[in-house]
Amino acid sequence: MDRDAYLKEELCRLESEGNLRHLTPAGHEGSHVIAEGRKMLNLSSNDYLGLAADVSLRREFMERLDPGDFVMSSSSSRSLSGEFPVYGQVEDKLSEMFGKEAALVFNSGYHMNLGILPAVAGKDTLVVADKLVHASMIDGIRLSAAGAIRFRHNDMTQLGNILEKEHGRHRRIIIAAESVYSMDGDRADLRMLCEFKKRYDNVFLYVDEAHAFGVFGENGLGLAEEQGCIRDIDYLCGTFGKALASMGGFVVCSRTVREYLINRMRPFIFSTALPPVNWRWTEFLLGKLSGMKDRREHLAMLSARLRSGLEDLGFGMVSDTQIVPLTAGESKVAVRLASELQAAGFFVLPVRPPTVPEGSSRLRFSLTAGMTAADIAALTDAVRKITAL
């Protein structure tokens, strides 16, 4: 009896639908990757500011690093013996940067969303979430004891109607949203979300700035900074693993929320903490973030050029950020387009179900500040050629 027969059948089904995934080993050279013997512009990275590819930054960090900080493992959860002084220093810096009472750092953005909502949302809570929130937030909602309602993506009218109907039926309501959505590259209206929250004493706001932190705002703090509503968001979350080129997730919040999460958030309590040297790297980059305005402006220019170029080719566009999707429809079409672009020197991968809904498979161009205007022109020309066939 083949004990893996069911799994093999499922893999065959995924392959027949064009949804079978493979891991692609790749070397990295600046804004390019080297995979399968080809050097290609990397359009699948979340290194939005180009920091992960910046060798000079790494060199500067290593020159500043004290040998005593070069600790490669915490060897424990933070609640046991794994609480190193640098952890509090980074969290104090975050709370100061955002002007919030407190901050708490987690091992990843997935850990963050998987753990906060189950910790704070009990049976007396209703979570009202945007239809397109990340899988980690959906999993967090499922693990919580709270009820849940999903509203149509960025549909403020429907959200307002839900809140008006439900606010008197629950002790707490948490609106859950992202600021920049990773598959469409569009933005949430954070000001409107904050206005909804202010209407009701029992409504709280949870916003994940994973794809906006570092990229938007005068100091790179995200869309909430750009829209002037940091102080009105109860759970303002972000990640270090994208624009900041490090690892970990974080929330800036009240002191009470921080202490509650330390005591009730299971992924935090039961996980070995990130290595101290990782925290030092994060601290180093946080200190430089406000001075990276030129990188943010360059990225915005590149993004605008690509969106305009694709629109000129007849592609509809909802994105107004550094994430620019090209919707192919069927998975097999997305796979073919990605393969042809790779052959032309552009490393882009197809995004397929379950990451996106059936029939909306796409190429996701993820731009970084390490790219040039010439790179964008060449990419636009390559898309024109392969879609004209």
Active site residues: 46, 134, 178, 182, 208, 211, 242
Q: Distance between CA atoms of 46 and 355, rounded to whole angstroms?
A: 16
Q: Distance between CA atoms of 99 and 229, rounded to whole angstroms?
A: 11
Tokens of 136: 């980690």
Phi, psi dihedral angles at 306 (to 5 degrees): -65, -45
**Which residues does residue 207 pair with via DSSP β-bridges, in sequence order?**
177, 236
Residue 126 amino acid letter: L
Scored b (16 or more CB within 10 A) or e, 151-175 reads bebbeeebbeebbeebbeebebbbb
Q: Name, in order, each residue with C-beta under 8 angstroms of 364's C-beta and a sequence gap of 6 or more.
A: 44, 183, 323, 324, 325, 326, 348, 349, 351
Q: Is 334 strand, coil or helix? A: helix
- Looking up tokens 């512009």 gives 41
